[in-house]
Amino acid sequence: MMLPPGSTIGILGGGQLGRMLAMAAAALGYRCHVFAPEAELPAADVSAAVTRADYADRAALSAFAAAVDVVTFEWENVDPAAVRHLAQTVPVHPGAHSLEVAQDRLAEKQFVEWLGGRTAPWVQVDSRAGLDEAIARIGTPAILKTRRFGYDGKGQARIMAAGDADAAWDAIDGQPAILEAMVKFANEYSVILCRSQDGAMVHWPVPVNLHKGGILATSSLPVPVLVRSQTEAAVALARTIAEKLGHIGVLTCEFFACMDGLRFNEMAPRVHNSGHWTIEGSATSQFENHIRALCGLPLRPTDLVSPQVEMTNLIGADADDWSRFLSDPALHVHLYGKGEGRPGRKMGHVTRLGK
């Protein structure tokens, strides 16, 4: 069923992804209502309504559910119990299942391997002694990653030699984790797809992603030959993941391009930083197609509008140069309206089409 324009879309989470979702929704005539606990909410600045409450606040969630026509999330660390609570009275897309798999690195890796995907070699780590056993099995260099709440390189510690184990274990506060072999890759890339309520799927041309300090720095196209040779298989895996999850909306799968083939890294059950270039670089942005999927509208084409596209994140103090970016006619500038440019904080991005 198509949700008519004028309806209200609830968004759990209030960051820049919610902000860009709300702007895409507004273009199609929908209103957004943001639910998030933080004082500063970039998404609320451009939304019709906001509920500032904790994700565990059942009364606030119930009132939110009654005020909106469909719910989505822009942040995957929402408690699936909160999503199930909402889903009793209002449709939530994607569903709790997508959330549960994507927010636990162990469940995610098992799920993807079950579907035939290849990941970096990994071992579950639940104790300090378990870490030693894992290092013995995986070898070094390796990366210790918390199972939950990791993003932008947080909740991770590198282990270059067995002697680093104590420091790594302390760095992740002894949380349930996995130890992953450090794989040699030539590039990183992401498959961003959108699945509609009737199961139709579109995917965007695949960008290569450059990370600095665990944080995405740039996403660009065209991609090197090695990545091009792997995209068909990567897209096929991402589509299977979306289908098996019964996922509705945008799903992002990140991959390592290794010389001996692709390795799945991780997924996000949502619009993704590596898809920000789609706002200007594609016939339809990831944000618009996500809104379309939520509202039961047909998805639109995702063709590139320029053979060359580059999105660069403005992180921390980068955004202090806003007047230079805004004065450059070649740049599409997006600033998220965040106050303080703390190190590592995503403040905005710029997209360049063409050379």
Q: How far apart are CA 61 and CA 72, in angstroms?
A: 13
Residue 100 binds ligand AMP (CB under 6 A) = no
Residue 265 binds ligand AMP (CB under 6 A) = yes
Nearer to ligand AMP, 217 or 353 (CB): 217
Nearer to ligand AMP, 23 or 215 (CB): 215
Residue 168 binds ligand AMP (CB under 6 A) = no
Residue 153 binds ligand AMP (CB under 6 A) = yes
CB 268 → ligand AMP: shortest distance, Å?
A: 9
Residue 220 binds ligand AMP (CB under 6 A) = no
Tokens of 346: 């995503």
Tokens of 205: 């041309």
Which residue in 182, 226, 235, 353 binds ligand AMP (CB under 6 A)?
A: 182
Residue 107 binds ligand AMP (CB under 6 A) = no
CB 67 → ligand AMP: shortest distance, Å?
A: 34
Q: Starting at the earlier edge strand, list the strands of the sheet with 31-36.
A: 49-52, 31-36, 8-12, 70-73
Q: How far apart are CA 196 and CA 354, in angstroms?
A: 31
Contact region for ligand AMP (CB under 6 A) — 12-20, 45-53, 178-186, 195-203?
178-186
Query: Binding residues for ligand AMP, how many (CB under 6 A)?
Result: 13
CA atoms within 13 A on the CB side of 205: 22
Residue 159 binds ligand AMP (CB under 6 A) = no
CB 299 within 8 A of CB 196: yes
CB 169 within 8 A of CB 144: yes
Q: Starting at the earlier edge strand, list the strands of the sheet with 177-181.
A: 122-125, 177-181, 142-146, 156-159
Nearer to ligand AMP, 86 or 125 (CB): 125
Residue 266 binds ligand AMP (CB under 6 A) = yes
Residue 188 binds ligand AMP (CB under 6 A) = yes
List Cβ neighbours of 2 (8 Å cut-off, separation of 6 or more): 295, 296, 297
CB 352 within 8 A of CB 328: no
Tokens of 45: 């600045």
CB 262 → ligand AMP: shortest distance, Å?
A: 13
- Cα angle 8-60-21, degrees, rounded to a multiple of 5: 35
Nearer to ligand AMP, 140 or 240 (CB): 140
CB 263 → ligand AMP: shortest distance, Å?
A: 8
- Count other Cβ atoms within 10 Å, centred on residue 149: 12
CB 297 → ligand AMP: shortest distance, Å?
A: 31
Contact region for ligand AMP (CB under 6 A) — 44-52, 179-187, 195-203, 336-344?
179-187
Residue 180 binds ligand AMP (CB under 6 A) = yes
Residue 206 binds ligand AMP (CB under 6 A) = no
Task: Give the E-state strand segments of 53-92 in sequence order.
Answer: 70-73
Tokens of 4: 């008519």
DSSP state of 153: T
Nearer to ligand AMP, 44 or 142 (CB): 142
Residue 183 binds ligand AMP (CB under 6 A) = yes
Q: Using CB under 6 A, which residues numbered 35 to 64 contact ligand AMP?
A: none
Residue 318 binds ligand AMP (CB under 6 A) = no
Question: Is 61 strand, coil or helix?
Answer: helix
Q: How far apart are CA 348 and CA 332, in angstroms?
A: 11
Burial (CB < 10 A; 0-12, 13-18, 19+), residue 213, is: exposed
Q: How far apart are CA 71 and CA 27, in angstroms?
A: 18
Nearer to ligand AMP, 8 or 265 (CB): 265
Nearer to ligand AMP, 231 or 289 (CB): 231
Residue 120 binds ligand AMP (CB under 6 A) = yes
List interacting residues with ligand AMP (CB under 6 A): 120, 143, 150, 153, 180, 182-183, 188, 211, 214, 254, 265-266
